C-alpha cells in the first residue's frame, strides 16, 4: 500500500474539478451524504458572492468505490461546474490588469503572458471544492477509529468569538456552529461579525478572519521526531498554508507561547488509571497549550490548529495596478467574487487537516484493508497499555 495522497485538477470555469485520492485501503465505508454535506457547507457562509447561487456541488465517484466501499484502488472524484464557460471567456478581452494580493502578476510573468486568466483559473479558490471532497473522504476513514474533526470561525476582522471548545462540549458546539450562517458556535458574536462584513460590503471592500479546527480521538504517536518532514505539525502547517488566501498557521497557544515563561506554557502530565482504555492511554493534562502536538507527534490531547485568512483580493472598489500591455497605471481587474469567504475557509481547513491526520494514521498502522489496519491499530494500543506505565 502506498502513501495516502491526493491531487486535484480542473479550472474555476472549466467543465469540472477532479480529485484523485490514492492510498486509502479496501473497505472504507464511503458516506456520500456526509461528503456532499461538506461540499454544501463550503459553498455557504455569510458574505459569499453570486457564484455559489450557480453551483450545486456534488461528489461523483468515477472509480475506486464499489457498493459504497473503497476497493483499494485510486479513487477519482468529479465535481461538475455549472458555470463552465472557460472557452467563452477566451473571446472576452484578456484580463491584463493584475489584482494586488492575487496570483495574477506573478503567474503572468511566470508563464510569459499578459493574460492573467491563464493563472487565475487555477489559482482560484474554486479548486478547494476538490480538496474538501478529498478531505471529507479521508474523514470516512478516520471515523472508523473514532477520530472526529470540528472546524469553525473564530474571528472575522476585529470581531472575535469568546468561547472554549473541549472534548466534552464540542458536539454541542457543533450544533451551534451549524445553526450559524457565520459558522461560529458563539451566537453572541454573530451580530458583530455580520456587522463587520456588511461594513466592508458597503465600502466595496473585503473581510478576512481566523478559523480553527480541533481533532478529537487521535492516538498518541502519530507523526515523528526522527526527520524534519515527518513532523506532523509541519505537515499540517504546510497543508493549511497552501489554502488560497491563508497567511498564518498556529497550534495551541501559537504565537502567544513566545510571550510567556515556560512554566505558563508547557502542559503538566498526569496519569489516571480509569482512562487507560482511551486513545490517550490514561495520560492526562490540565491544559492543552501545545495544541496536541509535541516533538512533531500527537500527544493524546486534541490537535488544535488555527489559520489566518487575509481579505479576498478582488475588491468592488479596485486598488491601483498596472496594465501589463502598456505598463501604464490602471485600476486592477475585477472578477465576480465574495465579500468574505471565511465560513468556507473554515470548512476547507477542517478537511485539509483531516487529510493529514489520515495520512499519518495510515503511515503508522498501514495495510491493504481496513481489517488489517484495525488489527495493527488494536495491537499497538494493546502493546502501549501493556507497558509499565501505571
**Does residue 390 register a pLDDT over 50?**
no
Into how many domains does the chain fold? Answer: 1
Beta-carbon contacts of residue 248 (< 8 Å; ≥ 6 apart): 241, 307, 308
Weakest mean pLDDT among 105-109, 115-119, 240-244, 253-257: 115-119
In 3D space, the residue among 160, 224, 214, 152 whose CA is nearest the CA of residue 189 turns out to be: 160
The pLDDT score that the predictor gives to residue 338 is 85
- Would you say 272 and 308 are in contact if contact means Cβ atoms under 8 Å apart? no
The pLDDT score that the predictor gives to residue 212 is 98
Task: Residue 317: give the domain boundaries.
Answer: 5-386
Residue 70 β-bridge partners = 65
Report the 10 Å Cβ neighbour count for 363.
16
The pLDDT score that the predictor gives to residue 80 is 94
Confidence of residue 90 (pLDDT cuts 50, 70, 90): low
- Would you say 273 and 309 are in contact if contact means Cβ atoms under 8 Å apart? no
pLDDT in tens, 30-57: 999 999 999 999 999 888 766 566 678 9
> How far apart (Å, rounded) are the C-alpha atoms in residues 323 and 279?
58
Per the prediction, the chain carries an average pLDDT of 93
Calculate what percentage of the chain has a pLDDT beyond 70: 95
> How far apart (Å, rounded) are the C-alpha atoms in residues 49 and 27?
39
Average confidence (pLDDT) over 74-85: 90
**Does residue 284 register a pLDDT over 80?**
yes
**Does residue 94 register a pLDDT over 70?**
no
Length of the chain: 390
- CATH assignment of the domain containing 209: 3.60.150.10
pLDDT in tens, 322-335: 999 999 999 998 77
Amino acid at each position: 500500500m502506498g502513501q495516502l495522497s491526493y491531487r486535484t485538477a480542473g479550472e474555476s470555469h472549466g467543465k469540472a474539478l477532479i480529485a484523485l485520492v490514492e492510498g486509502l485501503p479496501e473497505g472504507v465505508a464511503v458516506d456520500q451524504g456526509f461528503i456532499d454535506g461538506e461540499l454544501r457547507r463550503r459553498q455557504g457562509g455569510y458574505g459569499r458572492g453570486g457564484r455559489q447561487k450557480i453551483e450545486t456541488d456534488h461528489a461523483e465517484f468515477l472509480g475506486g468505490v464499489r457498493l459504497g466501499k473503497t476497493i483499494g484502488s485510486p479513487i477519482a472524484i468529479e465535481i461538475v461546474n455549472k458555470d463552465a464557460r472557460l472557452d467563452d471567456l477566451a473571446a472576452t478581452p484578456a484580463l491584463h490588469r493584475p489584482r494586488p494580493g492575487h496570483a495574477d502578476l506573478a503567474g503572468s510573468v511566470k508563464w510569459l503572458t499578459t493574460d492573467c486568466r491563464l493563472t487565475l483559473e487555477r489559482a482560484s479558490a474554486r479548486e478547494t471544492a476538490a480538496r474538501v471532497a478529498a478531505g471529507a473522504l479521508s474523514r470516512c476513514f478516520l471515523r472508523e477509529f473514532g477520530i472526529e474533526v470540528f472546524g469553525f470561525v473564530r474571528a472575522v476582522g476585529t470581531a472575535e468569538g469568546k468561547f472554549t471548545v473541549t472534548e466534552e462540549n464540542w458536539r454541542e458546539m457543533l450544533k451551534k456552529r451549524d445553526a450559524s450562517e457565520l459558522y461560529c458556535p458563539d451566537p453572541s458574536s454573530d451580530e458583530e461579525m455580520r456587522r463587520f462584513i456588511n461594513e466592508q460590503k458597503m465600502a466595496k471592500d473585503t473581510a478576512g478572519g481566523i478559523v480553527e479546527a480541533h481533532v478529537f480521538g487521535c492516538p498518541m504517536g502519530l507523526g515523528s521526531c526522527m526527520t524534519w518532514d515527518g513532523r506532523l505539525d509541519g505537515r499540517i502547517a504546510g497543508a493549511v498554508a497552501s489554502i488560497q488566501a491563508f497567511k498564518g498557521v498556529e497550534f495551541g497557544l501559537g504565537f502567544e507561547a513566545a510571550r510567556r515563561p515556560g512554566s505558563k506554557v508547557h502542559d503538566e502530565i498526569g496519569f489516571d488509571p480509569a482512562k487507560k482504555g482511551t486513545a490517550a492511554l490514561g495520560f492526562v493534562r490540565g491544559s492543552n497549550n501545545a495544541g496536541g502536538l509535541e516533538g512533531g507527534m500527537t500527544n493524546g490531547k486534541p490537535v488544535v490548529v488555527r489559520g489566518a485568512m487575509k481579505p479576498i483580493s478582488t475588491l468592488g472598489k479596485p486598488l491601483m495596478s498596472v496594465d501589463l500591455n502598456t505598463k501604464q497605471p490602471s485600476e486592477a481587474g475585477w472578477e465576480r467574487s465574495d465579500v468574505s469567504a471565511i465560513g468556507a475557509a473554515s470548512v476547507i481547513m477542517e478537511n485539509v487537516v483531516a487529510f493529514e491526520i489520515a495520512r499519518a494514521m495510515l503511515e503508522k498502522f498501514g495495510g491493504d484493508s481496513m481489517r488489517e489496519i484495525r488489527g495493527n491499530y488494536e495491537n499497538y494500543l494493546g502493546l502501549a497499555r501493556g507497558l509499565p506505565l501505571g
